Structure 1
Amino acid sequence: MNDVEPNGFGTAVRTPARLALLCLAGVVAAVVAAGQWLPPLLGLVGLGLAGAGMWWALAHRGVARLCGALLAVAAPVGVLVLYVVSGVWPFAVAALGLWVAALACARSALRRLRTPRGVRSRPVPPPRRPVLIMNPLSGGGKVGEYALVERAEALGARVVLLDVDSSPDPAVLARKAVAEGADLLGVAGGDGTQALVAGVAAEHDVPFMVLAAGTRNHFAMDLGLDRDDPASGLDALTHGVEIRVDLGDVAGRPFVNTVSFGTYAEIVQSPEYREAKASTTLDLLPDLLVGSAGAQLTATADGERLEAPHALLVSNNPYAQAGPIGVGRRPRLDGGRLGVIGLRIEGAAQAAELALRGERAGGVTTYASRRVTVEADVDQIPVAVDGEALLLPQPVVCTVRPGALRVRVPRNRPGAPYTAPSVDWRRVVRLALERTPHPAVKNQEQSDA
């Protein structure tokens, strides 16, 4: 039975919202009981100093980097020592626990308020001539670990193994398979390989299938597949349903997850990155953040202009805000829009603001757009398309193709839990106190869904 009351919010929404406010009141009570307002204020200062120290550690070298790293560690440690010495640590622990509980309850209320609808699926008969392209090295060898070749062939699929030494183009293999009569294309590999084969599948209107055999498997996760058991995806061959999802396009190249510009895209261009990710990143970041290295970008998203971001992420459908730069999950893959997240930090003060305010900091910009154009002061822009390093001539145009991709998935799959937007306490108060949403709030919730 639906728990929503007529013309009002349901108790399933109001109850966690009210619990969130109750926990928030408990935080205030813990601070008042401690009898000192200075420690919590110093806690915020310590968090800001840690953010500033992290900036110095990343954006500088030598002594400045060492001092920044020390500050990033010493600031929170100093606050903890202050709490112990002043005897307010029990109240601090209580306040912290209540704050965590308040955030959890608030997110629960927001999730239950507008859980996005599931993608509409339709039953389909098993494919007659499925072809699965597998990368035996992807994900540390998951293809062999889960015996995906043997299991797929036992179900009647033809398997094409990528020969990494010969650097094959998965799109060429996929086109050849379609020309030979394949009525389904599948991939067991990374997101970059998936995107190339998905582009061929969309081009020929052939169903596409994913096995979560990559390292991160972002696309598989948002499709609701079980990333801990790649072989379970093979159920799509026998007990599958079909859904329609969007496909991103960057300069004529398909992508299923993200296109990155700026610092990350510049770093992955380095030949040393694959062998030594951490050291290469630390070596290149100072020049990219405060020096003259790297392309100076300008992005335009449906008329909105974003000047000189340090990092720019364009995603196939927006990610739910779950951190400073929106990492998390996509509530839906069929919204027909690109997610755009820009990040620019010009100094330690903005880094401290980012640590304190997260995605609401002034250096973070977010949009939902149908078309994004990226220009630069160089002829070719470094780009990372689903993790693959490329150089593309400017301007680089990103668009989305609504419902372009037919995806075959198992009928029974665990699903990707909805990640609620970052907590907006004004919305939580409305949920807790109002029985019927204000029209503006209602419209906002509908646009978020």
Structure 2
Amino acid sequence: MTPERRPWWARLALVALVGSAVVPLVAAGLRSALWLLLAVVGVALTAVGVWWTLAYTGPLRLLGALLSVAAPLTVLGLYSSYGMLWPAVAAFVLWLVAQVAGHAALVPEDDVTGQWRRAAPAPRHPWIVMNPLSGGGKVDRFALADRARAAGAEVVLLEPGAHQDVAALARRAVAEGADLLGVAGGDGTQALVAEVAAHNGLPFLAIPAGTRNHFALDLGLDRRDPSTALRALSDGVEFRVDLGYAAGRAFVNNASFGTYAAVVAEPDYRGHKLQTAFRSLPVLLTGPRAPRLEMRAGDSRMDGLQALLVSNNPYLRAVDANRPGRRRSLSSGLLGVVCVRVDDTAQAARLVRGDRSPGLTRLTAREVVVAGGADGTLAAGIDGEHVTLPAPVVCRIAPGALRVRVPRDRPGHPSGGPPVDWPELTRLALGGTEARASAA
């Protein structure tokens, strides 16, 4: 976005924010505070119901399921009965407009890739490994193997059902003269090859042929059409990003410990993710198998954690359901750390406050030490792949370790970010581009 447009987005955000407060005031006057309180109570009761549904079995799970449905329906029914439904919807829409416009006004000039971007000559011997089963068969659906070979790449297709050491295949390709390593598959496979590329100083090509591909999302690649990533072979740019390591094993997104890692370890997880998680969570949250982790990062120490997420650069939000895996930068040289400790229903309900919840802690560090395994090991999810690591696990960041090759033209890093800085937004709206420049 050009600097001249940012003040107008800031003004739109402020007008929408004021409108979101004025609409309920016009509709209900001072009673709008009571309607707001009702909405807060409804959200809290819904959170309690969700917690009981996930953390317990038997009658309490059934009661939780009923509460998580009845609470929001009751609130909506009361709003509708007293003619407050449409004012509430209008206020919510205006608040969303304020958030979107605020992020658009404050989005930085540079994107997630940092400042090392440069034009890259076409590789002479590119090598790409492809998993035909990833993403429901995207490799075949988008004819990725044929297109890659037409672009001059050597393609290795993983055999369905066969256990193949992807890292070993990549190391052999390097020994045979490959000058670029690529992956068409999920984040777990990409991390294995990215580690080999970083170790040998070779550029890495990510082709988003997996189910989610959070790494590709933050690189600005088009996940709807993974074939567009192959343009990097003929018209690409290159930059460096950080790489995370957990007990010496690389990750491009995150290493998770505790509850999520235990769910990933279940044999049925790959085929039935939701059912497996729903069945396993009661034991993992409140039962005897509930994990209790210890974390040390610099001067920060925490114990009794149920879940711990260590990410390659911090996520924009601790819980980001709409844009999972979003990071403002992949080159900050810092690990993101999200710690979760929920001991009872009250703490679970307060998780709806996000970063302000007492059960959730966020911090950044260059090194994180994780302990808590009773048998000297810790289960972990490395970019969604289950592994068992020797405890304590040392997680570290390797700044600028990975050379990444992407197409010159790509969707880019969509706007989004942490909560809007309203004072800065106000200065931008009133002072124009000079306010933003001086703040920077």
Give TM-score, length-normalised by structure 1.
Answer: 0.90
Query: What does residue range 260-275 of structure 1 map to in structure 2 within 5 Å?
Result: 260-275=256-271
Q: Hey, what's the Cα distance between the residues in 2 that align with 1:387 and 1:229? A: 22
- Is this contact kept in 2: 1:320–1:330, CA < 8 A? yes
- Is this contact kept in 1: 2:261–2:381, CA < 8 A? yes
Matched, 1:93 2:89: yes
Match of 1:353 in 2: 350
Q: 1:38 to 1:89 in 2, by over 3 A?
A: same
Q: Hey, what's the Cα distance between the residues in 1 that align with 2:425 and 2:236? A: 39
- How far does the alpha carbon of each residue in 1:274-333 deviate from its partner, in whole angstroms, 9 at most, with x for none? 233222212221121112214320111222112222211111111112736894411111
Report how far residue 134 of structure 1 moved: 0.9
Report how far residue 418 of structure 1 moved: 3.4
Question: Of 34, 38, 44, which aligns to 1:42?
Answer: 38
Match of 2:71 in 1: 75
Question: Of 291, 297, 311, which aligns to 2:293?
Answer: 297
Match of 1:287 in 2: 283
Query: What does residue range 118-267 of structure 1 map to in structure 2 within 5 Å?
Result: 118-267=114-263
Q: 1:88 to 1:227 in 2, by over 3 A?
A: closer
- SS at structure 2 position matched to 1:165: coil
Match of 2:61 in 1: 65
Structure 2 gap segments, 5+ residues each: none
Q: Hey, what's the Cα distance between the residues in 2 that align with 1:240 and 1:92? A: 48
Q: CA RMSD in A?
A: 2.6
Which residue identity does 1:387 align to in structure 2? G
Matched, 1:398 2:399: no
- Is this contact kept in 2: 1:115–1:418, CA < 8 A? no
- Is this contact kept in 1: 2:369–2:393, CA < 8 A? yes
- Is this contact kept in 1: 2:54–2:278, CA < 8 A? yes
Q: Hey, what's the Cα distance between the residues in 2 that align with 1:309 and 1:30? A: 46
- Is this contact kept in 1: 2:367–2:395, CA < 8 A? yes
Q: 1:4 to 1:416 in 2, by over 3 A?
A: closer
Match of 2:305 in 1: 309
Q: Hey, what's the Cα distance between the residues in 2 that align with 1:381 and 1:427? A: 43
Which stretch of structure 1 is more off in the superposition, 42-51 or 328-337? 328-337
- Is this contact kept in 2: 1:185–1:207, CA < 8 A? yes
Which stretch of structure 1 is more off in the superposition, 385-394 or 25-34? 25-34
Q: Hey, what's the Cα distance between the residues in 2 that align with 1:349 and 1:89? A: 28
Q: Hey, what's the Cα distance between the residues in 1 that align with 2:90 and 2:106? A: 24
Q: Hey, what's the Cα distance between the residues in 2 that align with 1:197 and 1:426? A: 44
Report how far residue 191 of structure 1 moved: 0.7
Report how far residue 218 of structure 1 moved: 0.9
Q: Hey, what's the Cα distance between the residues in 2 that align with 1:231 and 1:113? A: 27
Which residue identity does 1:158 align to in structure 2? E
Q: Hey, what's the Cα distance between the residues in 1 that align with 2:320 and 2:151? A: 44
Matched, 1:105 2:126: no
- SS at structure 2 position matched to 1:283: helix
Q: 1:428 to 1:323 in 2, by over 3 A?
A: farther
- Is this contact kept in 1: 2:318–2:362, CA < 8 A? no
Which stretch of structure 1 is more off in the superposition, 239-248 or 31-40? 31-40
Q: Hey, what's the Cα distance between the residues in 2 that align with 1:116 and 1:174? A: 27
- How far does the alpha carbon of each residue in 1:378-435 deviate from its partner, in whole angstroms, 9 at most, with x for none? 2111100001001111000111111111111111111121322124555555655678
- SS at structure 1 position matched to 2:161: helix
Give TM-score, length-normalised by structure 2.
Answer: 0.91
- SS at structure 2 position matched to 1:308: strand
- SS at structure 1 position matched to 2:107: helix
Matched, 1:54 2:50: yes
- Is this contact kept in 2: 1:324–1:354, CA < 8 A? no
- SS at structure 2 position matched to 1:416: coil
Match of 2:333 in 1: 336
Report how far residue 128 of structure 1 moved: 0.9
Matched, 1:318 2:310: no
Q: 1:397 to 1:119 in 2, by over 3 A?
A: same
- How far does the alpha carbon of each residue in 1:71-113 deviate from its partner, in whole angstroms, 9 at most, with x for none? 0110010011112222333333333333333333333333369
The percent identity for this pair of structures is 50
- Is this contact kept in 2: 1:383–1:389, CA < 8 A? yes
- Is this contact kept in 2: 1:312–1:343, CA < 8 A? yes
Which stretch of structure 1 is more off in the superposition, 371-380 or 29-38? 29-38
Which residue identity does 2:419 align to in structure 1? S
Which stretch of structure 1 is more off in the superposition, 277-286 or 46-55? 277-286
Which stretch of structure 1 is more off in the superposition, 365-374 or 425-434? 425-434
Which residue identity does 1:233 align to in structure 2? A
Which residue identity does 1:217 align to in structure 2? N
- How far does the alpha carbon of each residue in 1:223-279 deviate from its partner, in whole angstroms, 9 at most, with x for none? 111111111111111111111111111111111111111111011111122233222
Report how far residue 437 of structure 1 moved: 6.6
